[in-house]
């Protein structure tokens, strides 16, 4: 029977093949990949003769990615990445490995998976299964479980094959998809929003800077920033304490004040003076007891990383790299494990026996195995068991290999000494505590002497310091040698060390034992944090600014709580308590809500970044992309999405994210003050979906018969939106934004082909919101008085002559039925709309000025700017009447009103 064996790395495949074949009749040939060899030999599995073929992958064979149209950053709204289709594909650089597996699998009956026995290894195993079963569906699938590359474990694993664990693989699939969707959406959002908006010192002139976000990476950064903020906000406070010492023939004893310290100086002085006045000390208690210092629990990954950081100043990332190399060479067990308890089946004595010949700790190993020494003690239970691997322990004796670096020697020594320590008796000490009374104030001193060092003899990394006290007896009296009132100052906590950071991550459930070091490394790679020579972390300006921005939003995206819940859910998937689909839906819904909220509050990120960085003069186009909300698929390029965006002048539009390759755009009315995409879908426009937009228009810039709130569609079916676009135009809305400035000439405004004719005057060159017939004149032209008559009608007086104005009705197509006031005197050209008065904007009419030039002269200009409508010099202004007709000095011959002609006179026929 032909059996295909697949290991996770080429070195593991070589070790497995060498152990199983005993290096007898072992043949090697090349595969498609020059790094992944194929080893062949004969072997017997449970009495069944087999022809074994052993090859390998190099970590994950597949990658999870979005479908092509979602992979380009500007091709879609980042919010869509929470639901966009994803797929697992074999990357280009691993196609040769895939071809090797396919070729070998076709002629085999069994597939035995020798991947690392954790969740990640199980996921890789199912990637191999997918590739191999695609070409040979008759394969029998088996899993080899092992924890060390030694003969005992490898032979035992192949004779006791089990089934692959789909739950483990599903848990990794869930994590990969969650991390991909959350990381990609937030990374694109904050990178496109901030990269070009600020000059970031870590990437000067670097347009390829990526401001990455990771659901584990950011809470890790949060720990660093939070400790830094604690230090920055600390205010030193002075305190006082009383210290006492006594010198005798046996030595010096230092006594500490039971109260600790006082922050109130007056109280401390009073108590100190009492002690000085009655300085005789009375010994009130002498307590002697045996103290034990227990050996550490068996070694797991987190403890390995922490202790290597403390003892050798090795980074967690480098520690895992060295540990992996020692494991692949067969010297230690699998280094990625949460377990800190040995099972009863583990032969601990055999492990110790292998170390008897070492010059450094061999004699201690011999004492451990000697029953007469009484040094042996079964290791204590640490309380963690991942059900996959034992604690980290030595698997092969070495007194130092020639190719080892200093760190290889150090880490191997730590693993061996730790194992020997955890099967040893605790250290024994005799501790003495003496309490004395001085004028009613209690003081104490402690001393310790080590009776039996036991495990401390081999575990040189720890000590159990103490001092021996002079002999005291209860009732003894003495006068202190010194009695002082000393002051001190409170100090902030120190910056987080790497061991501290690992402890925080472990406590809050951020990452796993196999990934924590990666998250820490990313902080340094992304320049979010730095690490000093003392292995302590400080946030950079960039890291602090990002955390500050999200913190100001109110969402604790930098806190560990959300990720801790995800990690618990993924563990539940690995245990079969929850399904992958259930966890994906819950986590992604929650994080999408966070994302949408963060995007609405993106100004907080800008404000935080502005604290640390100068604004850039580079194009802010990416900012527009980052703020877009998905409307529909672009019908022009058929690749990117159309999104709602707002430019720097405040105008809204729906544009294609494929810009500049695709320039498809839908310009929205210039009178829009607010616009937000809803979840409602248009039932008419195809292809769908086309999401509806909730518009809010500026009331004074649209005709009175239109609603200021409108739920509209940009797909082409919305007649109201089309009319308002024609009426209001889509050009610059400087006056609407309150940005004063020089008026644009009419000929420039008319050059905008998207701008329709004004609904009031039917002329181009301005929108209805800027129509002179609707603009307020200078303060002197506003009505001087307004009286409410008994009948409830409003009486308006002309600002020029003071005469009462007549109420008239417009009869043009655009303003038919709209009422206005105008002066009856032919010498005055005053008028005001009645609805302007009713809306509280009384006097927004203007004083008409007779001009000699024709109203159709295109060289005339209209004033713009808030509070400046109609306030320009009359000689440079062309006005139109309230009915929309140009003023040319002529009046209605029926009633004499200059605001209309006789054919539109409301009094005609009376």
* Residue 241: φ, ψ to 5°: -140, 155
Q: How many residues in the chain?
A: 910
DSSP designation for 885: P
Report the 10 Å Cβ neighbour count for 624.
20
Contact 630, 76 (CB under 8 A): yes
Token representation of residue 866: 């808030």
Task: Give, in order, the Cα–Cα distances in Å from 111 to each of 51, 98, 121, 601.
Answer: 12, 15, 15, 53
- 10 Å CB burial of residue 136 (0-12, 13-18, 19+) is middle
* Catalytic-residue membership of 528: no
Buried b (16+ CB within 10 A) or exposed e, 269-294: eebbeebeeeeebebeebeeeeeebe
Contact 673, 696 (CB under 8 A): yes
Q: What is the maximum span of the chain, computed from C-alpha positions, in angstroms? A: 132
The DSSP secondary structure of 657-701, one letter per residue, reads TTTTT---EEEPPTTEEEEEEEEEE-SSSSSS--EEEEEEE-GGG
Buried b (16+ CB within 10 A) or exposed e, 227-247: bbeeeeeeeeeebbbbebebe
Q: How far apart are CA 523 and CA 501, in angstroms?
A: 12
- 10 Å CB burial of residue 93 (0-12, 13-18, 19+) is exposed
Q: How far apart are CA 331 and CA 327, in angstroms?
A: 6
Three-class DSSP category at 539: strand
Q: Which residues pair with 187 in a beta bridge?
A: none
Token representation of residue 529: 């944090």
Nearest to 570 by CA among 250, 118, 189, 13: 118
Q: How far apart are CA 10 and CA 29, in angstroms?
A: 13
Q: What sign has the CA pseudo-torsion 860, 864, 868, 869?
A: positive
Q: Is 540 left (phi over 0), alpha (psi -120 to 50) or beta?
A: beta
Nearest to 659 by CA among 674, 647, 670, 676: 647
Looking at 152-269, which runs of residues are DSSP E strands? 198-199, 238-248, 251-257
Residue 6: partners with Cβ closer than 8 Å, 6 or more residues away: 13, 54, 55, 56, 57, 101, 111, 112, 113, 114, 115, 128
* Residue 295: φ, ψ to 5°: -70, 155
Catalytic option among 228, 272, 334, 472: 334
Report the 10 Å Cβ neighbour count for 40.
18
Token representation of residue 271: 């108590």
Q: List the catalytic residues.
A: 334
């Amino acid at each position: 029977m032909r059996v295909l064996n697949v290991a996770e790395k080429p070195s593991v495949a070589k070790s497995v093949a060498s152990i199983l074949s005993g290096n007898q009749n072992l043949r090697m040939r090349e595969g498609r990949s020059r790094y992944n060899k194929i080893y062949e030999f004969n072997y017997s599995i449970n009495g069944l003769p087999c022809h074994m073929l052993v090859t390998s992958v190099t970590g994950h064979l597949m990658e999870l990615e979005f479908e092509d149209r979602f992979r380009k950053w500007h091709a879609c709204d980042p919010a869509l990445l929470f639901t966009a289709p994803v797929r697992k594909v074999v990357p280009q650089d691993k196609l040769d490995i895939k071809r090797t597996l396919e070729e070998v699998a076709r002629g085999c009956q069994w597939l035995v998976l020798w991947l690392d026995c954790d969740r990640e290894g199980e996921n890789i195993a199912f990637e191999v299964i997918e590739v191999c079963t695609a070409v040979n569906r008759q394969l029998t699938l088996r899993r080899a479980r092992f924890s060390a590359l030694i003969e005992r474990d490898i032979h035992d694993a192949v004779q006791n094959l089990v089934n692959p664990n789909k739950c483990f693989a599903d848990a990794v699939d869930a994590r990969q998809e969650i991390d991909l969707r959350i990381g990609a959406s937030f990374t694109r959002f904050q990178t496109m929003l901030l990269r070009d908006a600020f000059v970031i010192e870590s990437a000067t002139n670097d347009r390829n800077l990526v401001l990455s976000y990771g659901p584990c990476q950011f809470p890790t950064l949060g720990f660093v920033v939070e400790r830094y903020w604690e230090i920055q906000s600390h205010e030193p406070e002075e305190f006082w304490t009383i210290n006492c010492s006594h010198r005798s023939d046996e030595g010096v004893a230092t006594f500490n004040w039971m109260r600790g310290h006082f922050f109130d100086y007056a109280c401390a002085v009073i108590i100190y003076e009492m002690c000085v006045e009655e300085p005789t000390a009375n010994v009130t208690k002498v307590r002697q007891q045996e103290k034990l210092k227990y050996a550490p629990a068996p070694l797991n990954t987190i403890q390995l990383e922490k202790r290597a950081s403390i003892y050798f100043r090795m980074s967690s990332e480098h520690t895992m790299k060295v540990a992996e190399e020692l494991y692949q060479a067969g010297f230690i067990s699998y280094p990625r494990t949460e377990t800190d308890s040995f099972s009863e089946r583990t032969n601990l004595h055999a492990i110790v026996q292998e170390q008897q010949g070492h010059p450094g700790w061999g004699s201690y190993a011999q004492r451990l195995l000697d029953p007469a020494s009484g040094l042996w003690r079964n290791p204590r239970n640490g309380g963690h068991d991942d059900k996959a691997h034992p604690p980290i322990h030595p698997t092969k004796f070495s007194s130092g290999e020639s190719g080892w670096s200093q760190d290889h020697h150090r880490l191997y020594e730590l693993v061996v000494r730790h194992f020997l320590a955890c099967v040893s008796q605790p250290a024994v000490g005799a501790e003495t505590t003496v309490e004395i009374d001085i004028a009613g104030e209690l003081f104490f001193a402690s001393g310790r002497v080590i009776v039996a060092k036991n495990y401390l003899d081999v575990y040189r990394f720890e000590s159990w310091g103490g001092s021996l006290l002079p002999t005291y007896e209860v009732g003894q009296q003495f006068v202190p040698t010194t009695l002082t009132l000393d002051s001190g100052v409170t100090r902030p906590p120190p910056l987080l060390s790497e061991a501290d950071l690992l402890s925080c991550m472990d406590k809050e459930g951020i990452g796993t034992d196999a990934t924590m070091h990666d998250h820490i490394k990313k902080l340094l790679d992304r320049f979010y944090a730095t690490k000093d020579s003392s292995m302590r972390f400080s946030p950079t300006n960039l890291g602090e600014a990002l955390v500050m921005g999200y913190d100001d939003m109110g969402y604790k995206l930098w806190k560990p709580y959300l990720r801790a819940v995800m990690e618990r859910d993924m563990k539940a998937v690995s245990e079969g308590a929850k399904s992958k689909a259930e966890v994906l839906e819950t986590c992604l819904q929650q994080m999408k809500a966070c994302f949408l909220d963060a995007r609405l509050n993106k100004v907080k990120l800008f404000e935080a970044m502005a604290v640390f960085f100068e604004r850039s003069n580079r194009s802010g186009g990416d900012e527009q992309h980052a703020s877009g909300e998905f409307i529909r698929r672009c019908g022009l390029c058929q690749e990117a999405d159309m999104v709602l965006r707002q430019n720097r002048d405040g105008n809204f539009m729906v544009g294609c994210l494929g810009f500049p390759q695709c320039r498809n755009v839908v310009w929205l009315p210039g009178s829009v003050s607010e616009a937000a995409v809803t979840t409602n879908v248009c039932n008419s426009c195809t292809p769908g979906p086309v999401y509806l937009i909730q518009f809010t228009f500026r009331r004074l810039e649209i005709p009175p018969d239109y609603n200021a709130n409108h739920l509209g569609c940009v797909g082409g079916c919305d007649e109201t939106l089309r009319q308002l676009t024609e009426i209001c135009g889509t050009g610059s809305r400087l006056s609407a934004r309150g940005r004063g400035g020089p008026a644009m000439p009419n000929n420039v405004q008319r050059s905008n082909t998207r701008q329709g004719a004004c609904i009031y005057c039917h002329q181009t060159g301005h929108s209805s919101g800027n129509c002179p017939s609707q603009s307020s004149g200078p303060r002197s032209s506003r009505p001087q008085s307004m009286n409410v008559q008994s009948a409830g009608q409003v009486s308006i007086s002309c600002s020029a002559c003071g005469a009462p104005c007549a109420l008239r009705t417009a009869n043009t197509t655009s303003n038919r039925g709209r009422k206005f006031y105008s002066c009856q005197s032919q010498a005055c050209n005053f008028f005001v709309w009645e609805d302007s008065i009713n809306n509280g904007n009384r006097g927004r009419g203007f004083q008409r000025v007779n001009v000699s030039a024709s109203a159709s002269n295109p060289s005339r200009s209209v004033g713009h700017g808030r509070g400046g409508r109609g306030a320009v010099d009359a000689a440079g202004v062309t006005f139109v009447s309230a009915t929309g007709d140009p003023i040319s000095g002529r009046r209605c011959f029926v009633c004499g009103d200059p605001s209309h002609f006789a054919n539109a006179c409301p009094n005609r026929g009376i």
